[in-house]
Amino acid sequence: MLFSRQLARRPLIRAPRRWTHSPAALAGLKSVTEDDLVHFAHFLPPTSIVSTLSPSAAPSSELESFNNDWMNKYHGRSTTVLKPRTTEEVSKIVKWCNERRIGIVPQGGNTGLVGGSVPIRDELILSLSNMSKIRSFDDVSGILVADAGCVLQSLTDYLAPHNHIVPLDLGAKGSCQIGGNVSTNAGGLRLLRYGSLHGSVLGLEVVLPDGTILDQLTTLRKDNTGYDLKQLFIGAEGTLGIVTGVSILAAPAPQASNNVMLALPKFENVLPLYKETKRQLSEILSAFEFMDRTVYDLAVKHGQGRALNPEDVEGAECFVLVETSGGKREHDEQKLNSLLESLMEADVPLINTGVIATSPAQFSSLWAIREGLTEAVSKEGKAYKYDISVPLYKFQEVVDKTKNHLQEKGLLHEDAVKYVVGYGHVGDGNLHLNVVAAAYTPEIEAALEPFVYELVASYKGSISAEHGIGAMKTHALKYSKNETSIEWMKKIKALFDPNGIMNPGKVLP
Ligand code: FAD
Ligand code: MLT
Ligand code: ZN
């Protein structure tokens, strides 16, 4: 599914040399200079250097999309973007920056939702967009080796004729890159079936902060030879090195896929429905996605797919999208139909109604609603996005408590917070709590934080289920990690990156 980036046009301010408000992590780091550009030009072609400092200075507007995140919430002021074509070029850039103490922000598709992919100050942006070659694919083992800059959708397209799929799918697939997916340990819509990238990534090639190339790009299913270093880079958000190559286990393409959108009278039915769906569909269940009524209506309003007739969903409090993927169409359809029949015929039905896709177009249209939620929310206003792990039965409570809290603060109205919505990956225990405001304001932020983080901690949940920590949650890491864990994370960071050049100010407090 393609989606458009909604980056507002804003004038870029030229980076000043002195910084008044800069996190400690950036203290001591240097700005890129014209001399640095002269050095980079020795091994990079002019098309790989975009800089407002170079003799043929790029207009600042050319850097705009690199300096601003997808939500247009986080803004960097980098003067320079480099787009290396090979791992060796990445290594030379990193080595030079390390020697000169220049901060680097690795950037993939820039679809991250926690401000990790844009600079805090004027760090150099290293874009992987020119590294987009598929290195190999073995259709017996299903192992795919690709450059980190390959866009997720392009890998899906490449694998389709080979009857395989990437074991990862998300709404940003038209822009996000596999290196970015690995670096955020993205979860997405297929985790229920295929598990996390910690399992499906078999090997990585990483340029370490001193420029050394760490080649762990194995294509082995089994390899118990001591510490599994690659795991450290999965979810490191570019703070330990730059991922340049990925070896991943692709899954055999399902021979038959079905989906159905179900309307539920009340939230309390979601869990019994999930239990019953798992019991009846067992091995063919591949997704179970939840959305509350408000966010469903926003998706429909913004034209993200067409689902149920409005008169059929009167009184529905929430919706669930169920997908099956299996090997035999009749068998899977029979299972799904008997599930739906049993749901409708129960003495106390768990669902009001539902719509089952009967063509590939309808299948895509149902998914378009779910995948379009992020964009629909962003069209309504400025979203404070909390991506949390909490027990399933607490999903609605979190949304309600947040709404009540904002109401008590007098912030729940058109000019402040317009909507508080919840959606997410039920099977993964992952709720996306989105607070949609007219604008990002310190007052709303102060009302939400630490309120939301304390709520999550009270359920022993996680403040980041899949989007990461980035710049957004460094101060809140303590709500999900104890002091000892944070200390060890800091030691690991210092070991790999003693000069603190890799994505400074991200992840660690
Ligand atoms: P970027 O945004 O460019 O970077 C993300 C982080 O990784 C940054 O810290 C960056 O420095 C680092 N990084 C990027 N590339 C590299 C590299 N090669 N080496 C080292 N560090 C690197 N996320 C989910 O988990 N599940 C979802 O379902 C999901 N759906 C989304 C839907 C939409 C519409 C949008 C806009 C976002 C969604 N996201 C989701 C968030 C985001 O798409 C993912 O986090 C994605 O994995 C980021 O990939 P990217 O290439 O855009 O990385
Ligand atoms: C999703 O599940 O849709 C993504 O994680 C993005 C989001 O939270 O909006
Ligand atoms: Zn998600």
pLDDT digits (tens, 9 = 90+) for 254-276: 999 999 999 999 999 999 999 99
- Is the CB of 180 within 6 Å of ligand 1? yes
> Which ligand is in closest contact with the Cα of 70?
1
Residue 397 has pLDDT above 50, yes or no: yes
List, edge to edge, every strand of the sheet that includes 104-107: 49-51, 80-82, 124-127, 104-107
The per-residue pLDDT for range 443-493, each reduced to its tens digit, is: 999 999 999 999 999 999 999 999 999 999 999 999 999 999 999 999 999
Supply the pLDDT for residue 54.
Answer: 82
Distance (Å) from CA 70 to ligand 2 centroid: 12
Using pLDDT thresholds of 50, 70 and 90, give the confidence band for residue 58: confident
Q: Report the separation in Å between the CA atom of 109 and the middle of ligand 1, taken as the mean of its atom positions.
A: 7
Compute, in angstroms, the gap from residue 140 CA to the centroid of ligand 1.
29
Which two structure tokens, joined as six digits, stand for 427?
């099977």
pLDDT at 433 over 90: yes
| Residue 347 contacts residue 387 (beta carbons within 8 Å) | no
Q: Which pairing describes strands 251-252 and 213-216: parallel, antiparallel, or unpaired?
A: unpaired
3-state SS, one letter per residue, for 421-465 = EEEEEHHHCEEEEEEEECCCCHHHHHHHCCHHHHHHHHCCCECCC
User: Please, what are the domains in the chain?
Assistant: 28-127 (3.30.43.10), 134-252 (3.30.465.10), 256-373 (3.30.70.2190), 381-496 (3.30.70.2740)
Cα of 14 from ligand 1 centre, angstroms: 27
Task: Give the number of whichever ligand sits closest to the CA of residue 153.
Answer: 1
What's the chain's average pLDDT? 94
pLDDT at position 21: 53
pLDDT at 20 over 70: no
In ligand 1, which atom is closest to the CA atom of 233?
Answer: 20
**Which ligand is nearest to the Cα of residue 240, counting in written order?**
1
For residue 183, give every residue at least 6 positions away whose Cβ sits within 8 Å of its Cβ, in sequence order, or none: 106, 108, 233, 234, 235, 236, 237, 238, 243
Residue 29 binned pLDDT confidence (cut-offs 50, 70, 90): very high
Residue 186 Cβ inside 6 Å of ligand 1? The answer reads yes
Please list the residues that pair with 288 across neighbouring strands. 322
Given a contact cutoff of 8 angstroms between Cβ atoms, the answer to whether 390 and 429 are in contact is: yes
Percent residues over pLDDT 70 in the chain: 96
The rounded distance, in Å, linking the Cα atoms of 368 and 371 is 5
Closest ligand 2 atom to the C-alpha of 385? 8
* The one-letter amino acid at 153: Q
pLDDT for 344: 87
Residue 167 CB–ligand 1 contact under 6 Å:
no
Q: What is the pLDDT of residues 235-252, one digit of tens each?
A: 999 999 999 999 999 999
276/106 Cα distance (integer angstroms): 44
Distance CA 324, CA 379 (A): 30
Tell me the CA–centroid distance for residue 424 and ligand 3, in Å. 6
Residue type, 173: K
Q: Whose CA is nearest to atom 24 of ligand 1?
A: 186
Ligand nearest to the CA of 291: 2
| Residues facing 463 on adjacent strands | none
Question: Which among 68, 11, 73 has a CA at the least distance from the CA of 378?
Answer: 73
CB 215 within 8 A of CB 244: no
